[in-house]
Amino acid sequence: MLLVLATMITSVLGNVIHTNHYGSLQDSQYDRPGEIEPAIKSMVSRMTLPEKIGQMTQINQDLVLLPDGTLNRTAVEYYANNYFVGSYLNQLSRLDHIHGAHFVANATIFPHGINLAASFNPQLAYDAAAITARDTRSAGVHWTFAPVLDIPVNKQWPRVYENFGEDPHLSGVMGVAAIRGYQGQYKSDRSKVAACMKHFIAYGAPWSGQDRDSTVVSDRTINDYFVPPFQMAIDAGVATAMESYIDINGEPVVASEKYLRQLLREQMGFKGMLVTDWAEIENLYTTHRVAASHKDAVHMSIKSTSIDMSMVPKDVIFFETLQDLVNDGQIPMERIDESVERLLQLKKDLGLLERDGWKARRELQSMVGQPSDARVSLDAARESLTLLKNANATLPLQDRYERILVVGPSANDLGHLSGGWTINWQGATKDAWQGPIDDEQFYSNGISIHDGMKLVAPANVDVDYMAGFDIDGTSIDMDQVLAVASSYDAIVVCLGEHVYSELPGNIHDMALPSGQVNAVEMIAKVGKPMITVLIEGRPRVLGSIPEQSNALLQAYLPGPWGGLAIAEALFGKLNPSGLLPYTYPKYVGDVNLNYWRQVNDVWDPLYEFGHGLSYSTFEYSNLTLYDGASVLQENRQLADSPPVLKPGEPVKVAVKVTNKGPFDGKQTVLMYVQQPVRRITPPVKVLKAFQKIDLEKGKSATVVFTVDADMFRYTGMDGVARGTLDHGPVRILINEHVMEFNLQP
């Protein structure tokens, strides 16, 4: 049954070419939060204080569920009548549907955010989000906590895979595409949900690499690298936002007027609804230790910030405490009204105030799990696969090897392909840290690497599987593997890490378990061509594995259909086109390496951001100025008199890309900017634009980019966010080609 479904998907899909339309709407047609309607203001003016605070209260569903998981109607009535609770966490109200509606039975699960980033194809982020929104809405849920727009500076951090990579521009572009997919015209389209940009802000740079630990970072870094993707999300009309667990330089974000009112609301212009993360107000007292009591914590967070909803989530103490603070005159009623107006406006926009609004879900339920959804998931996995090494053209395998042995814990496990936030918070796999969960939880919606290889392999090729070792690197049957390995023509080793999310994914060593590294070394001694496939949520330090492997394929967390995509890449049915969306460290101590480092920083990664090989060779030539129709000047003529670049006067550049290889393929063209000298030590380079193109072998295409002076703005000595623009020489970098401009402020 599984192979039949996979065959159907493959035959229908082929190699989909996306048109980068990001939906059928024009930018101005996407809905966005705006001014509060008079009717909402009138409603709030007639509400009692308990009713208002109830709207600001979010509790977890386990308070109103019976032990068998069914709804406890008595509990619902209790919390409604006594506390006027306005929101429930998890299946009853909102979900962390960050890569598909994984809490909805038979819904399609997609590759994680890090895969979508590696694809450099925003259309895939849009399509996955649109399907996720529809499936989420089919369950009567109107809100998802996605997209995740943190910049994962620290590669040890367990939430790297939820994000769109370390680059601010890439993260912002993918985030905007996802927001448009989730939301669309959400004020009238009842197949859409409210998106939530998270986690505001600087959550991805914990100084220790441990989830929820303190972040030590400058305002300049926040302004120049952490703010941009969130600003792009706000400009795109994201409806909601979530603050982050952390403190920044000792200041907890949840109680920060600086970050949650001055920066988010006043400087960045966010008009949507803001929710806390799990128990963060209480954490001011219990964890951050900046409040002497829960009452102090509520006072600090509500009075100082613009938080609208408290994810309490286990009791009603927030409700009682905030009511006391207002009655005591410590928090003005106007502050409460501000939040309740935003909350009720959002509910109206989503149709929650419509008497029959729930009926729309019936039609949507019939659309859950349709084959076209799996095609999107498969294509996202395909375009994300990143070929890191391919010595002596080891790949593609094609029909060169008659017997292939597949080894490793990630080769036969859908849970490993899908990672955390999959069916369960901590993922679904037999060796999940929270306990075994059978792969049957996927309802057969997926295909493992081993099964994918059996399906894709040419008729003359046999593919066998042996476990070899487990995810901790402990031998299962390594003696048997080594005893028979020499009888095979090639060996595919599938490595990985435990399935995890958030705190349970904390590690103290970036190195892959030594048992996995040792197993690769032993297999390599057999002397057969060896291909290593990496299934991992963050870049684990690989030791000798790159050297021992003839080819190295990074698959990240490609989702349950990723096994088929990987098999296609291995056998040459697919030409890999993914690029690394982060810097891959070589050493365990280099957890904070990012390509946008300052020019004076030490730099020795295993692979750089943007690295990714193809079975074809793409040649870049003729970097030129461009007027929209023709070449103005070729780069070689510009050296003596670089063109002038001024604010408000953008120019266009063009570059020719030719597929010189034997395979059709996709290529992502990256445009970086560079300022050799400025008042604040500059970064080596920063990505400002990219385009993914599809080229048949022997064909060429001209790629055009717009260059704007604002691309060189940064936060200067005066501390004004991205307010400084130094004059002098600046450059754009495309592949190995450089064009210089004279920047005049």
Tokens of 358: 């729930």
Alpha carbon 44 to its chain's center = 36
Cis peptide before 38, with omega less than 30 degrees from 0?
Answer: no
Instruction: Name which of 114, 194, 32 is nearest 582 in CA terms.
Output: 114
Cite the beta strand spans of 400-489 per DSSP E: 403-407, 462-466
* Residue 481 contacts residue 468 (beta carbons within 8 Å): yes
Residue 277 falls in the annotated catalytic set: yes
Among the options 135, 277, 349, 590, which is catalytic? 277
Please tell me whether residue 79 adopts helix, strand or coil conformation. Answer: helix
Backbone angles phi, psi at 18, to 5 degrees: -85, 145
Give the number of other Cβ atoms within 10 Å of residue 676's Cβ. Answer: 11
Instruction: Name which of 93, 98, 121, 123 is nearest 109 in CA terms.
Output: 98
C-alpha distance from residue 125 to each of 20, 24, 131, 352, 538 (Å) = 11, 15, 10, 27, 20
Write down the residue that tokens 């927001």 correspond to.
Answer: 179
Amino acid of residue 100? G
Please tell me whether residue 562 adopts helix, strand or coil conformation. Answer: helix
Cis peptide before 199, with omega less than 30 degrees from 0?
Answer: yes
Alpha carbon 387 to its chain's center = 20
> Which 8-state DSSP code applies to residue 478?
H
Backbone angles phi, psi at 724, to 5 degrees: -105, 135
C-alpha–C-alpha distance, residues 105 and 101, integer Å = 8
C-alpha–C-alpha distance, residues 242 and 230, integer Å = 11
C-alpha–C-alpha distance, residues 86 and 594, integer Å = 41
Cite the beta strand spans of 642-720 per DSSP E: 644-645, 651-659, 665-674, 686-695, 700-707
Residues with a known catalytic role: 277
